[in-house]
């Protein structure tokens, strides 16, 4: 599988896609998803031309993790309804309109922390999966299915911990599995 790109090419470093500018704009480079693989599976993260601050996303994930742990142990459902609302705004309208991301952006402007820009494709995919988890959890709480909600919360906590502490995007892996097995 080849993708032809004119101004930007993407290198595969492990499983992470890293943008690399081409010096000659007229050159066309090829990106091979299966460069080091002999099977027909696709191993790549979603690629976007937008960039987002890595610290902002990590802080957002940390707040969601705290909210999940609070809901898991103290059954404080209202907090999670607010997180679901914020995820919905973030996915539908964009990160600029999310109240929690706006608060964190203003907080980071006060601190001396420099932004680290990363590809927004994997972060958008993770936000969509987070919205799906949030909707399932909110619906489960609304219907009174507490055990189901706690099981899904535990799965969501596992995915966030992988992303926060190990930089392992479970949503990207799920998408690559979907593309390799169901989109042939």
DSSP string, 90-113: HHHT-GGG-HHHHHHHHHHHHS-P
**pLDDT of 44:** 60
Any domain includes 43: no
pLDDT for 178 equals 79
Which of 17 and 110 is assigned the larger pLDDT?
110
DSSP per residue, 45-65 = ----S-EEEHHHHHHHHHHHH
Compute the mean pLDDT over every residue in the chain, rounded to the nearest whole number: 78
Cβ burial 35-72 (10 Å sphere, 16+ → b, else e): eeeeeeebbbbbbbeeebbebbbbbbbeebbebbeebb
| Judgement on whether residues 178 and 149 belong to the same structural domain of the protein | yes
Is 46 within a domain? no
| Residues 26 and 58 both lie in one domain | no
pLDDT score of 101? 93
Domain that holds residue 20: 2-32
Maximum CA extent, the chain: 60
The more confidently predicted of residues 123 and 176 is: 123
Q: Is residue 15 domain-shared with residue 78, that is, in the same domain?
A: no
pLDDT (tens digit per residue) in 83-115: 999 999 999 999 999 999 999 999 999 988 888
More confident of the two residues 40 and 163: 163
Contact 125, 171 (CB under 8 A): yes
Residue 9: inside a domain: yes
Asked whether 68 and 157 are in contact (CB, 8 A), the reply is: yes
**Looking at the structure, do residues 16 and 104 belong to the same domain, yes or no?**
no
Query: Whole-model pTM?
Result: 0.72
Query: If you write DSSP's letter for every residue of 114-165 in order, what string do you get?
Result: PP-EEEHHHHHHHHHHHHHHHHHHHHHHHHT-HHHHHHHHHHHHHHHHHHHH
Q: Is residue 16 part of a domain?
A: yes
Q: What is the mean pLDDT of residues 64-71?
A: 94
Number of domains in the chain: 2
Lowest mean pLDDT among 39-53, 65-79, 90-104: 39-53
């Amino acid at each position: 599988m080849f993708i032809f790109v004119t101004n930007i090419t993407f290198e595969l470093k492990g499983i992470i896609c890293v943008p690399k500018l081409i010096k000659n704009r007229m050159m066309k480079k090829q990106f091979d998803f299966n460069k080091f693989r002999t099977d027909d599976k696709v191993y790549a993260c979603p690629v976007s031309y937008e960039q987002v601050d890595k610290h902002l996303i990590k802080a957002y994930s940390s707040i969601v993790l705290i909210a999940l742990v609070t809901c898991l142990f103290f059954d404080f459902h209202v907090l999670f309804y607010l997180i679901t609302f914020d995820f919905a705004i973030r996915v539908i309208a964009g990160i600029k309109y999310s109240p929690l991301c706006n608060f964190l952006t203003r907080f980071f402007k006060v601190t001396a922390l420099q932004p680290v820009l990363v590809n927004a494709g994997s972060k958008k995919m993770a936000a969509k999966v987070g919205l799906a988890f949030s909707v399932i959890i909110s619906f489960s709480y609304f219907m009174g299915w507490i055990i189901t909600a706690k099981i899904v919360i535990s799965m969501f906590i596992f995915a966030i911990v992988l992303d926060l502490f190990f930089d392992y995007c479970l949503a990207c892996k799920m998408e690559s599995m979907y593309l390799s097995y169901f989109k042939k």
